[in-house]
Structure 1
Amino acid sequence: MINKLTVDKIMEATDIVEVIGEFVVLKKRGANYVGLSPFTNEKTPSFTVSPVKGIFKDFSTGKGGSAVTFLMEHEKFSYPEALKWLAKKYGIEVEETQEAPENREAENHRESLLIVTGYASKFFHESLLQTDEGKAIGLSYYRERGFNDATIKKFELGYSPEQRNAFSEKAVKDGYLPEFLLETGLSVRWEEGPLNDRYRGRVIFPIHSPTGRVIAFGGRTLKKDKNVAKYVNSPESEIYHKSNVLYGFHLAKKAIREKDLCYLVEGYADVISLHQAGIENVVASSGTSLTVEQVKIVSRQTKKLTILYDGDSAGVKAAIRGLSLLYKESFNIKVVLFPEGNDPDSYVRSLGSSKFIDFIDRASKGLVEFYISIIDEKELADPLKKIKVSDDLAEIISNHPDDYFRSSYVKQVAERLRIDERAYLSVVNKAFVKKFTTKERPRLETPEVEEVEKPNVQQLAKEESELLYPGMGQEKEIIRLLLTYGNQIINWDGIANTYIGPFMIAELNDIEFEYPVYKAFVADYLKEVEKGNLPEETYFINHSNKQIADITITLLLSLYELSPNWYEMHQIHTSDETKNMKATILNAIFHLKKQKVGVILKNIQKQLQETKGPEDEEILLSQFLHMKKVQKTIADYLGIVITE
């Protein structure tokens, strides 16, 4: 078997558009890509790929799923074969193991570490919100930074009590083994002494994996003592490798894909403040230079990277040379330097989100352009410094594969440094030739498929289902909303800091879903919520129940999509359900309840016609009148008139 860690690496590395593009000619349409179905010989494209969600849907055959599913359907690969094909494509070494007890033990060990860090995160969060010390110290600090309740909950911010072993003692008491506490760095021990808390007296910033599990922590002291380290971070462990992690990525990846742009900042607070301002396509390298592994994480979502620096220009200049290596990966890289004394955190709080974005758009410069703009005349007056600047810029420019890019910037650099353009172009081109070799990537041919005349199975199934389950449409809408908005936070009058998914599930706890796959979906959603999890679309896309996975993909992808210039062409407004989420969610809930009440009333009427005993008739009449009142309440909310 291929171990879970390797599978996770493969799935994180996979670009579904790139994979399916090996077999199908795809054209961009809005946020998605479309093409002719590779499974039928169609003339009108019905095959849709969503890079944002990492799924495809072939509306002509009903097939859909992930890149792995596509390879299994198209190439007739087994699941392991599809994974190996992807691993080879993305240069990932496949670690295969036999399902032996020791392998299972290793997997359990890793899972145990993740369970411990998850427990710790909950402990720190509750210490912040539920203890006098946490409120007086930790919560006050976050409030001073301008973080609101929703933001504190979103990032699971916490506080570790000042008591030397408050966490360690509680964790051991609750059954967590000391060796796991030590291995994750949550606890420390000197020689044979007792366990002590690593982060005591610090505010806590949990660090998450790309899938959202807590893997490490950053703890900031609030003391002014210069002998106390400002930040203490988790040590490297089996579940945490600093160079492989971007802070906030689990919350940012969707926005990065949708915006097709990633902002890179330096600190936790920068990420948190920008998120709170509604700018969610942002991650932090947590004080380290951008690593190859971190670049790969970003590149799976976008090739556009804007780096927001709050350091001095000299420090930025030193980093640019390394960043230019991203040119080879087709990145479009820009740099922004904030006014002295400012950083993304302070600047967005000062300007607000709109003006902040305007500033970024105006101030962002390409690497070469930025480097040229901060060259000091004193550097050009010193021959040795001038040579260093010239060499740096030659190195940066030569990393770009485009001839026009290199020649354009060679001209600008030559003018700024007052050197011979032709000689400098020769230097850059020689460096370029050494770095680049052309390799022809083999393309796989799409196998021919015969055109087959067949009935519209999907339409027939839909018609049959609607006859058997008349409320299927309302049930389907609930599932769609859970998938699309379940992980968004409600901030309505009287309801705040609650996720939409659990809210909807609670509101529908007295409703019995009829359509089997929707019933199974809701039951599974409820089970996850009761376990303390908030299932996202990826959970259902990869669900073990194929029917749930199929309906998820169908609901997340639409065959039809409005073009960006729809309004300009037709002057017809389309409603945006996100403008009033309260109405969107409550309307769906009440329409489903209305339909269910209607069914109950018809059943009672049928029983009234069949009953013969006066006592039974009285009971049924009482039930009927009660349900009519319920129906009237729902109708009043929806603003409709009951005519039957």
Structure 2
Amino acid sequence: MISKATIDTVFETARVEEVIGDFVQLKRAGSNWKGLSPFSEERSPSFMVSPAKGIWKDFSSGKGGNSVAFLMEHSHFTYPEAIRYLAKKYNIEIEETEQTDQEKAITDVRESMYLVSEFAKSYFHNTLLNSEEGKAIGYSYFKERGFTNETIKKFSLGYSPEAWDAFTKEALGKGYKLEFLESTGLTIPRDDRPFDRFKGRVMFPIESMSGRVLGFGGRILTNDKKAAKYLNSPESEIYHKSKVLYGIFQAKQSIAKLNNCYLVEGYTDVIQFSQSGIENVVSSSGTALTPDQIRLVNRLTKNITVLFDGDAAGLRASIRGIDLILEEGMNVKVCTFPDGEDPDSFAKKTSHDDLVSYLEDNAKDFIQFKASLLMNEAKNDPIKKADLIRDMVVSISKIPDRIQREIYIQECSRIMDISEQVLQSTLAQLVQKDVSEVGKKQKQEQQAFEVVKNENPLDAQKVDVLYRLERKIIEILLLYGNKEEEFEDTFLRTNEEGEIETVTEKKEYKVFQRIYLSLQEDEVELANPLFRDIFNDLIDYFHHNENFSLEQYLMHLQVDFAQEVTDILMEDERVVLHDWVGQNIFPKSKNDTIVQEVSETILTLRWYLVGRIIEELKSSLSSEPNSDNTEPLSLVMDYNILIHSFSKKLGRVMSRYY
């Protein structure tokens, strides 16, 4: 179990913008940072990071929190995993305390699978470098491919021995359970003797964007025609091949920095490029490109350059992935290598500078690429040429941005020597068809999830007002709770002449004390259960901690509290996110005077509650003849006088419901 001292050090050291910047491409927005949501599909930024507050907020999905919360949401870490990740990132030594048997027992299945996979990576890597068989077969193979020791270490390349159960026997001997060896696909179950899936293969660990081992790819080195050349881990709780990209962990920072990602097909393509000094490269690992894989890249950059082998047949099959990339609103270029060359072989024999120059000079826009590739097939056949043009317009129709579509239509018209009007007409038909299909889907979803409208609008308004006021109280406590300010106390007293007079005195309070005492005086408890729990938690925290640190407070919050607290703290960031000021929309800024903000909020809450009492009294009046309504009417008059005093104190006339 990780010690509290270590956890405190991690929270004090970790910078939220640095942690999230490893996974999301962020751009500065004033004192904050913004980027595309990593939790939903979007094309305009709704993800905001506040270094000053140490938190983040994703306005599209509603998620938010601190650095640890991001890792738990994004990479599905447990709390201890997130702390360990941050400790490793910032070179913080982890101090352990002994776990109880109960704590050991609740380690979940996913964590056990991750631990087994991590052990397997270390075992295969160690076998490659230190065993006679590993050095003679696996290490020699990687050296023949031209990989240096630094590259082998960087990608944790390994070797699985030829023996049927060498790995399984070693793992069981180290205390790893057979059920997790089997669930990760590392061991194939058999009643008499379980055996290794990857025996006799060089190993390529497949890691998540955060560096967790998800699965493996293994290449056989013999000429056994019955065995697959490449073998991947099977689908499991932690490994879904359609959702991962090989090399993303090593490439993510370079992709974000250079604002471009090279996409290749094989493991060795990635490794050879990286060794050549081009690190912003990932691979779909031999599988057809999927939307989930594209979205992984989209978190880091809007630009993809697809690198194809010189094989024309392979090009025709692979080009289908381009439309998927366009649908995600990304910019696509394509670069091919000379006949007989692939990214691995070409990078191996080309210097860094020449390789960079080749990629820059030969990367074509997808329209130019498609035209040059398919025109050779069409040649002088008008029917094939018509099909080619239609194919290109289909690709253009996938682009969400209308201006980009217009530009590509012009380019297609120029290349194919056909009028823009014909292309525009075809494009309009395709776009309208897509819009109609989306509309039908949305209508079906709307019918399936139709919400019954509130029959009493006034009730909805009242609930909304109370919600806003209580939320404002939590916001004030979070931002100013420990600040000491001078407040006015007003009370009645009898003077020397025996007359009752109103007296105002100024007295210093901490903001949290003022709010707490005001609510206690009125015997008011927050109506919203979540706000009430957060309020009580905050007041308790202020009472027990002389110095209030927002970061420290967020550390100890349970998940549902932390979510709401983050929502409240990041509310103002919507202004920055949507650039309202740039659109001549000027939102109300925070009040410069804390005292005024506190007093106004409390008085408005009182106004609202008294107004609700008046409505209840009015509804209790009897319409029966000879009914005595004197008492409720008298109370209504008294409460109206109280509301008048609230208005006077606030210095303005307010509607009853704010």
TM range, smaller chain: 0.5 to 0.7
Within-5 A mapping of 1:588-607 = none
Partner of 1:33: 28
Q: In terms of Rg, which structure is larger? A: 2
Change (3 A) 1:543 1:252: farther
Partner of 2:601: none
Partner of 1:118: 118
Shift of 1:104: 11
Q: Secondary structure at the match of 2:108?
A: helix
Q: Does 1:410 align with 2:409?
A: yes
CA offsets, 1:107-141, max 9 Å, x none?
A: 61111111111111111111111111111111111
Change (3 A) 1:543 1:181: farther
Q: Secondary structure at the match of 1:246?
A: coil
AA aligned to 2:28 is Y
> Greater relative contact order: 1 or 2 (C-alpha under 8 angstroms, separation 6 or more)?
1
The number of residues matched between the two structures is: 400
CA offsets, 1:74-111, max 9 Å, x none?
A: x9x9859x989x99xx9x9xxxxxxxx99998861111
Shift of 1:224: 2.0
Within-5 A mapping of 1:563-574 = none
Partner of 1:139: 139
Distance 1:351 1:78 in 2: 46
Equivalent pair of 2:375/2:388 in contact (CA under 8 Å): no
Partner of 1:613: none
Equivalent pair of 1:306/1:364 in contact (CA under 8 Å): yes
AA aligned to 1:122 is S
Change (3 A) 1:106 1:362: farther
Partner of 1:239: 238
CA offsets, 1:462-487, max 9 Å, x none?
A: xxxxxxxxxxxxxxxxxxxxxxxxxx
Shift of 1:418: 4.9
Within-5 A mapping of 1:114-513 = 114-190=114-190, 192-310=191-309, 312-414=311-413, 416-436=415-435
Partner of 1:589: none
Partner of 2:33: 49
Shift of 1:167: 0.8
Equivalent pair of 1:399/1:435 in contact (CA under 8 Å): no
Q: Secondary structure at the match of 1:375?
A: helix
For normalisation by structure 2, the TM-score amounts to: 0.54
Equivalent pair of 1:15/1:300 in contact (CA under 8 Å): no
Distance 2:199 2:33 in 1: 48
User: Which shows bigger deviation, 383-392 or 143-152?
Assistant: 383-392
For normalisation by structure 1, the TM-score amounts to: 0.55
RMSD, matched Cα:
4.4
CA offsets, 1:283-318, max 9 Å, x none?
A: 110011221111111111111111111153343344
CA offsets, 1:239-278, max 9 Å, x none?
A: 1000010001111111111111111111111111111122
Change (3 A) 1:342 1:322: closer
Change (3 A) 1:57 1:378: closer
Equivalent pair of 2:306/2:335 in contact (CA under 8 Å): yes
Distance 2:22 2:126 in 1: 42
Shift of 1:179: 1.5
Indicate which of 19, 40, 54 corresponds to 1:65: 54
Distance 2:147 2:321 in 1: 34
Change (3 A) 1:339 1:331: same
Change (3 A) 1:18 1:287: closer
Equivalent pair of 1:186/1:199 in contact (CA under 8 Å): yes
Equivalent pair of 2:23/2:299 in contact (CA under 8 Å): no
Equivalent pair of 1:410/1:421 in contact (CA under 8 Å): yes
CA offsets, 1:192-221, max 9 Å, x none?
A: 220111111111111112211111111111
CA offsets, 1:210-235, max 9 Å, x none?
A: 21111111111111232221111100
Change (3 A) 1:376 1:542: farther
AA aligned to 2:299 is R
Shift of 1:388: 2.5
Distance 1:143 1:289 in 2: 29
Identity, in percent, stands at: 39
Equivalent pair of 1:208/1:215 in contact (CA under 8 Å): yes
AA aligned to 2:242 is S
Shift of 1:341: 1.2
Distance 1:103 1:294 in 2: 36
Q: Secondary structure at the match of 2:426?
A: helix
Distance 2:400 2:131 in 1: 57
AA aligned to 2:171 is A
Equivalent pair of 2:375/2:385 in contact (CA under 8 Å): no
Change (3 A) 1:412 1:222: same
Equivalent pair of 1:16/1:66 in contact (CA under 8 Å): no
Distance 2:346 2:554 in 1: 43
Partner of 1:473: none
Shift of 1:397: 1.4
Distance 2:342 2:554 in 1: 42
Distance 2:554 2:64 in 1: 17
Q: Which runs of 5+ in 2 are unaligned?
A: 1-15, 39-46, 77-100, 440-471, 484-550, 558-658
Change (3 A) 1:268 1:321: closer
AA aligned to 1:246 is L
Q: Secondary structure at the match of 1:376?
A: helix
Equivalent pair of 2:252/2:280 in contact (CA under 8 Å): yes
CA offsets, 1:389-430, max 9 Å, x none?
A: 122112011122444443443344345545454223211122
AA aligned to 2:178 is P
Distance 2:145 2:338 in 1: 20
Distance 1:385 1:103 in 2: 67
Q: Which runs of 5+ in 1 are unaligned?
A: 1-10, 20-27, 36-46, 93-100, 440-446, 458-539, 547-644
Equivalent pair of 1:49/1:56 in contact (CA under 8 Å): yes
